[in-house]
């Protein structure tokens, strides 16, 4: 017998003293690791290795008369006394020490439940680990008498009423002899055919760390003294559990900070948050939390579309959710509150799109007080996300929100730098940035493209007559008419002063002239004194580069103005 046993000495001494053959029982400061004995005359002294509540090794010396006992009888008495010790003291010293060095919370809980089941001789034991505020269950484990390992499950414990609330409030063991005669009992106990239940709090410094439930499917008489002693014995477990929780929390915090620092490091290098960067971040989270899928969704025309994702097996270009429709993501977007569904099969908010999904969590992405998107994660496991996982995701959502705000601000500045502030049309910088790539696409697809350079006729006279403010109104109105006259994918540019450029894709010269006629009708309707001259260059026949097409359209504009001047006199 190598294990030292933690002993409530008062209980042990009283219990063993009642054994008929026992002459004397006492604790001696004699640290030993094995059961030893001495024979003196007609008495045998047996020393049992034990430890006090401070984990200091000692020995329990039991002296008994053996006049009428043979060696087998002595062995039997020693076994009985040894069982007395174990009956009233359940935590081996060496096991606790080993657990402190290398064990996990699961090891500790398994050992606790295994021993409680053995000493109370019940059918099943379970343990719920509570959050710091004792308002929610972090994890839950169960163990049957014959099982060799813990089962983790989703707890249905009601912490704000019934048995669990009593244990948390009163911080003492509660015995329910028959749940059928209890007024406020969790219906799940009845469903699982439990009859007798004992509930123990594991407390440390006034805080209930968790609750142990021991159940029997038959009505049982429970030794209240033994129950109270087991509660005292838990005093050795509670500090160790608290230390493990602190270590786990510390390690989790370090891991969380490392991941957040890594994500921040990626984001800080980027002014503009592109899809590649977002996918890199999402992949980090997916690997860290063993996710099935992760996505950032943003609003677009009363829909929520995927901006970036990882793990989806769908075409993200075609996937969308109605903002005011069913689904966890729309719910989070509309309410602005994070939401966690531990089992989507029993959640009416869940919108089915992947049969592998079993748990889902979503977090709002804020821009000030306005929601600009949702971070959504899924798992193929029920109860996949712990409180610490949800806390991590909430922090990541905050970081992504800040990065998106900065990205949107950068995009706005970038967009504004490509726009003419008066007309809202693209400027020459945008022309030089966007059009060369589009021309490559025209060549690659064997398509056509028309460049139309426009110059307003009569604008200088109008400006001199009515002033610059009215002149600006003409330019703004002309820009609006141009936008209304072309397609969404065509380009309109304020080229400079009263010159404008149209880039019309897939159009031949005849169609281009019909577009120009619509523009002329529009501006004449508002300002009869205003007209325009134009020059058209077509790709590929007039060139395939921006420079050649601009040069050709400018030449033709000059020639057209020259013809007009010869026909109608000075044009300004």
The pLDDT > 90 percentage for the chain reads 26
- The three-point CA angle 78-81-87 to 5° equals 140
Whether 190 has a pLDDT exceeding 60, the answer reads: yes
**What mean pLDDT comes out for the span 24-40?**
74
Which residues are within 8 A (CB) of 118 and not within 5 positions of it... i.e. 6 or more apart?
Answer: 145
The CB-side HSE value for 327 (13 A sphere, CA atoms) comes to 20
Distances (CA, A) of 140 to 26, 106, 164, 553: 41, 10, 13, 76
Query: What distance separates the 2 farthest-apart alpha carbons in the chain?
Result: 145
| pLDDT score for 71 | 64
Whether 476 has a pLDDT exceeding 90, the answer reads: yes
| pLDDT score for 474 | 93
pLDDT tens digits for range 237-247: 777 787 777 77
Query: Higher pLDDT residue, 265 or 398?
Result: 398
Rg (CA), the chain: 41
For residue 92, what are the β-bridge partners? 5
8 A C-beta contact, residue 342 and residue 382: yes
pLDDT tens digits for range 163-172: 889 899 999 8
Whether 398 has a pLDDT exceeding 90, the answer reads: no
**What mean pLDDT comes out for the span 324-351?**
91
| pLDDT score for 55 | 44
Instruction: State the pLDDT confidence band at 317, using cuts at 50, 70 and 90.
Output: confident
| pLDDT score for 403 | 79
Per DSSP, 131 falls in state: P
Least confident of 314-323, 460-469, 543-552: 314-323
| pLDDT score for 93 | 42
Q: How many Å apart are CA 24 and CA 68, to the nearest integer?
A: 17
Can you give the pTM of this predicted structure?
Answer: 0.51
Query: Higher pLDDT residue, 87 or 121?
Result: 121
| pLDDT score for 182 | 80
Instruction: State the pLDDT confidence band at 378, using cuts at 50, 70 and 90.
Output: very high
Q: How many Å apart are CA 109 and CA 107, to the nearest integer?
A: 6
Q: How many Å apart are CA 531 and CA 385, to the nearest integer?
A: 67
Torsion angles phi and psi, residue 146, rounded to 5? -95, -10
User: Would you give the distance in Å from CA 524 to the centre of its chain?
Assistant: 59
Instruction: State the pLDDT confidence band at 189, using cuts at 50, 70 and 90.
Output: confident
Whether 273 has a pLDDT exceeding 80, the answer reads: no
| pLDDT score for 363 | 95
Instruction: Give a three-class secondary structure readout of 365-398.
Output: EEECCEEEEEEEEEECCCCCCCHHHHHHHHHHHH
Burial class (CB in 10 A: 0-12, 13-18, 19+), 29: exposed
Query: Higher pLDDT residue, 230 or 402?
Result: 402
| pLDDT score for 28 | 77
For residue 325, say if its preceding peptide bond is cis, omega within 30 degrees of 0. Answer: no
**Strand arrangement of the beta sheet that strand 499-505 belongs to:** 491-496, 499-505, 449-457, 531-539
| pLDDT score for 267 | 73
Whether 523 has a pLDDT exceeding 80, the answer reads: yes
């Amino acid at each position: 017998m190598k294990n030292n046993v933690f002993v409530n000495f008062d209980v042990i001494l009283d219990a063993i003293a009642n054994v008929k053959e026992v002459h004397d029982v006492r604790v001696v400061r004699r640290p030993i690791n094995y059961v030893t004995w001495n024979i003196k005359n007609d008495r045998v002294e047996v020393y049992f290795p034990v430890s006090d509540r401070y984990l200091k090794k000692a020995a329990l010396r039991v002296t008994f008369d053996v006049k009428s006992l043979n060696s087998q009888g002595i062995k039997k008495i020693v076994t009985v006394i040894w069982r007395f010790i174990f009956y009233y003291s359940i935590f081996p010293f060496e096991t606790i020490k080993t657990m402190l060095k290398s064990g996990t919370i699961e090891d500790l809980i398994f050992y606790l439940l295994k021993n409680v089941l053995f000493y109370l001789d019940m059918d099943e034991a379970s343990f719920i680990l509570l959050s710091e505020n004792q308002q929610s269950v972090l994890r839950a484990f169960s163990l049957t008498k014959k099982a060799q390992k813990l089962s983790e499950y989703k707890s249905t414990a009601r912490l704000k009423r019934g048995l669990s609330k009593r244990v948390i409030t009163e911080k003492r063991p509660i015995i329910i002899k028959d749940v059928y005669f209890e007024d406020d009992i969790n219906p799940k106990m009845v469903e699982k055919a439990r009859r007798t239940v004992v509930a123990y709090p594991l407390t440390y410094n006034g805080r209930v760390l968790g609750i142990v439930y021991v159940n029997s499917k038959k009505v049982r008489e429970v030794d209240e003294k033994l129950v109270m002693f087991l509660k005292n014995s838990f005093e050795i477990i509670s500090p160790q559990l608290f230390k493990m929780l602190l270590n786990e929390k510390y390690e989790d915090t370090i891991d969380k900070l490392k991941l957040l620092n890594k994500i921040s490091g990626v984001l800080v290098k980027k002014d503009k948050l592109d899809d590649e960067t977002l996918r890199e971040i999402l992949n980090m989270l997916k690997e860290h939390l063993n996710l099935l899928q992760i996505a950032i969704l943003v609003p677009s025309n009363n829909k929520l579309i995927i901006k970036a994702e990882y793990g989806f097996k769908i075409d993200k270009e075609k996937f969308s959710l109605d903002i005011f429709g069913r689904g966890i993501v729309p719910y989070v977007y509309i309410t602005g509150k994070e939401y966690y569904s531990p089992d989507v099969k029993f959640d009416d908010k869940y919108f089915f799109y992947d049969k592998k999904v079993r748990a889902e969590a979503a977090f709002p992405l804020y821009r000030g007080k306005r929601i600009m998107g949702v971070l959504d994660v899924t798992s193929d496991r029920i109860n996949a996300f712990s409180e610490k996982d949800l806390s991590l995701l909430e922090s990541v959502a905050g970081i992504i929100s800040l990065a998106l705000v900065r990205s949107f601000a950068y995009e706005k500045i970038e967009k504004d730098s490509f726009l003419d502030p008066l007309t809202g049309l693209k400027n020459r910088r945008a022309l030089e940035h966007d059009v060369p790539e589009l021309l490559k696409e025209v060549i690659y697809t064997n398509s056509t493209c028309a460049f139309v350079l426009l110059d307003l006729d009569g604008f200088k006279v109008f400006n001199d007559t009515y002033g610059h403010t009215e002149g600006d109104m003409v330019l703004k109105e002309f820009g609006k008419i141009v936008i209304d006259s072309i397609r969404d994918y065509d380009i309109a540019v304020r080229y400079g002063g009263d010159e404008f450029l149209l880039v019309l894709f897939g159009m031949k010269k005849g169609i281009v002239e019909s577009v120009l006629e619509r523009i002329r009708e529009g501006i004449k309707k508002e300002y009869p004194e205003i007209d325009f001259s134009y020059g058209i260059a077509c790709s590929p026949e007039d060139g395939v580069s921006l420079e050649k097409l601009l040069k050709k359209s400018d030449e033709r504009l000059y020639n057209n103005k020259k013809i007009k001047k010869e026909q109608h006199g000075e044009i300004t």
